[in-house]
Structure 1
Amino acid sequence: MKTLFFIIALLFSATTVSATETKIMIRAKGKDAKFIGSSLGGAHIIVRNKINREILAEGNTTGSTGNTDLIMKTAKTRGVAITDSQTAGFLATIDITEPTLINIEVISPFNNRQAQATVSTELWLIPGKDILGDGIILEIPGFIIDILKPRTHQYIPLNTIKGKPFLFQANIVMMCGCVIDKGGVWNSDEIEVKGILKKDGKYSKDITMSLVSTNLFEGSDWINSPGNYELIWYAYDEKTGNTGVDKVNYVVYE
């Protein structure tokens, strides 16, 4: 009987392997921009087992957007980090018993739904083999656009705007929240910003928008008839391919 118990114990120990804590640093970086961190509410990270889709870790990136000179102005050299201890990231701690194929999904910017993009990648995670330093960096393309004027579903009396320019305003930033300014690191002169105006579901006109102060773009046009209006506001950088869109609907009535 003792021999039987001994054999069972050996079989059990052979098939039971303790999990090993394994760490992986995950970061989200705006395309042609810096890292997405606390100042923007972070990027949302989900780490899953590729095979059974089990969530292994989940959370938001926290920290700073990083060093502008290092990220945007310094020539990149293999093996030289572009992050430091303050740079935004999400440190996932995962217990695994064997090499595991994982899927990393990044949803960003998490608090700006109209500008959200989802990117993902896959890699093997090996027990006890941490991936730290710069870690895994996923790039988020685009601009964040928030239309400020007119407001969503605003009702505007025609007699208050007829015969004079109607002002359109929007705030535009990089996907990391970094500022857009004339002649700046992110130069407004290199970004095409326009509005597409529709009335009662049909195209009406294009409206050119220009920078008036940091991140703030404006344009104006005459609105001389009542109707249901839609403004589609876009930004486009030909050099980087970054694009962004926001939309607003409003009503002009007599």
Structure 2
Amino acid sequence: MKLRFSIPVLFCAFLFCFGSLVAQETTVMVRALAKDAKFIGSSIGGAKIILRNAETREILDQGLTSGSTGNTKLILQTPKKRYDKLTDETTAGFEAKLNIKEPTFVDVEAHAPVNKKQAKVISSTQLWVIPGKDITGEGVVLEIPGFVVDILSPQTHERIKASNGINLKANIIMMCGCPVTEDGVWDANQYEVKAIITSEGSEIKEVSLNPTNKPSTFTANTNLEKGYYTITIYAFDPVTGNTGVDKTNIIIN
């Protein structure tokens, strides 16, 4: 006995077998890892994660990483073998949910740290996401290089008498918020911290800042003549290449 199938029945069977027109929710875990440091999470406001369709630029999901910065010993002080994990269930990340009908080439971006505008950088990668094939566990890990540098003194547009001298003070932390201290995990003595002082585009002087007893705090004193000045303070790690910058303007009268 011969079986007979109509064209509509065959077409429906084809769709059922391949499921290519049915959207499936697919999970992609995304994490932001500060270079030479830990994961960027709730303590510093998180990293903004954006997943886009690489072809159409449609945003498929977005949100902030949340959770802890992770285990210092595990991340920085433990030799790693293939498939060893850096994270646990509390480590910061963003669990994206993508509704896709077919294998989709996806752009993944991390903007971090999201609340520190002068320090924020964008790290990105691309990958194929297959419907129903979750990417969990460590997930996609994007490296975020740099330091967060905040000038604490002098204040923006502060008027200072030339006779008083200038106190330069900056707070410098890793991109995950981890503190910088002398002889610590992130050794303040390893970093070059300097102020470049300019006036109307011309460099006036360069001043080195030194670490203090207060974690992440660097200071120096200098003198300036009357005028308008831009102060740029930078941090540089010659070992890892991490850098960070902040700027302010003052008036000496």
What TM-score results when the alignment is normalised by the length of structure 2? 0.92
| Structure 1 counterpart of 2:221 | 220
Contact 2:199/2:228 (<8 A) preserved:
yes
| CA shift for structure 1 position 152 | 1.1
Identity of aligned residues (%): 47
Q: 1:14 and 1:46 mapped to 2: Cα distance?
A: 34
Secondary structure of the structure 2 residue equivalent to 1:114: coil
Q: Map Cα deviations across residues 154-205 of structure 1 (whole Å, 9 max, x no partner).
A: 122x2xx51x542111100000000100000000010000000112331111
Q: Give runs of aligned pairs for residues 113-128 of structure 1, distance below 5 A.
A: 113-128=117-132
Matched, 1:53 2:57: yes
| Structure 2 counterpart of 1:130 | 134
Q: Which amino acid aligns with 2:53?
A: N
Q: 2:39 and 2:82 mapped to 1: Cα distance?
A: 19
Contact 1:231/1:247 (<8 A) preserved:
yes
Q: Give runs of aligned pairs for residues 86-165 of structure 1, distance below 5 A.
A: 86-156=90-160, 158=161, 161-162=162-163, 164-165=164-165
Q: 1:13 and 1:215 mapped to 2: Cα distance?
A: 65
| CA shift for structure 1 position 10 | 6.2
Q: Which amino acid aligns with 1:41?
A: G
Q: 1:27 and 1:85 mapped to 2: Cα distance?
A: 13
| Structure 2 counterpart of 1:236 | 236
Q: Which amino acid aligns with 2:202?
A: K
| Structure 1 counterpart of 2:167 | 167
| Structure 2 counterpart of 1:3 | none
Unaligned runs of 5+ in 1: 1-5
What TM-score results when the alignment is normalised by the length of structure 1? 0.92
Contact 2:41/2:69 (<8 A) preserved:
yes
Contact 1:98/1:127 (<8 A) preserved:
yes
Secondary structure of the structure 1 residue equivalent to 2:132: coil
Secondary structure of the structure 1 residue equivalent to 2:87: coil
Unaligned runs of 5+ in 2: 1-5
Contact 1:25/1:131 (<8 A) preserved:
yes
Q: 1:103 and 1:142 mapped to 2: Cα distance?
A: 22
Q: Give runs of aligned pairs for residues 172-251 of structure 1, distance below 5 A.
A: 172-212=172-212, 213-223=214-224, 225-251=225-251
Q: Which amino acid aligns with 1:148?
A: L
Q: 1:151 and 1:166 mapped to 2: Cα distance?
A: 11
Q: 1:166 and 1:248 mapped to 2: Cα distance?
A: 13
Q: 1:87 and 1:101 mapped to 2: Cα distance?
A: 26
Contact 2:154/2:166 (<8 A) preserved:
no
Contact 1:234/1:245 (<8 A) preserved:
yes
Q: 2:166 and 2:233 mapped to 1: Cα distance?
A: 15
Contact 1:25/1:133 (<8 A) preserved:
yes
Contact 1:46/1:57 (<8 A) preserved:
yes
Q: 1:96 and 1:146 mapped to 2: Cα distance?
A: 42
Secondary structure of the structure 2 residue equivalent to 1:115: coil
Q: Which amino acid aligns with 1:33?
A: A
| CA shift for structure 1 position 40 | 0.4
Contact 1:31/1:139 (<8 A) preserved:
yes
Secondary structure of the structure 2 residue equivalent to 1:247: strand
| CA shift for structure 1 position 37 | 0.2
The number of residues matched between the two structures is 243
Contact 2:153/2:170 (<8 A) preserved:
yes
Contact 1:200/1:227 (<8 A) preserved:
no
| CA shift for structure 1 position 14 | 5.2
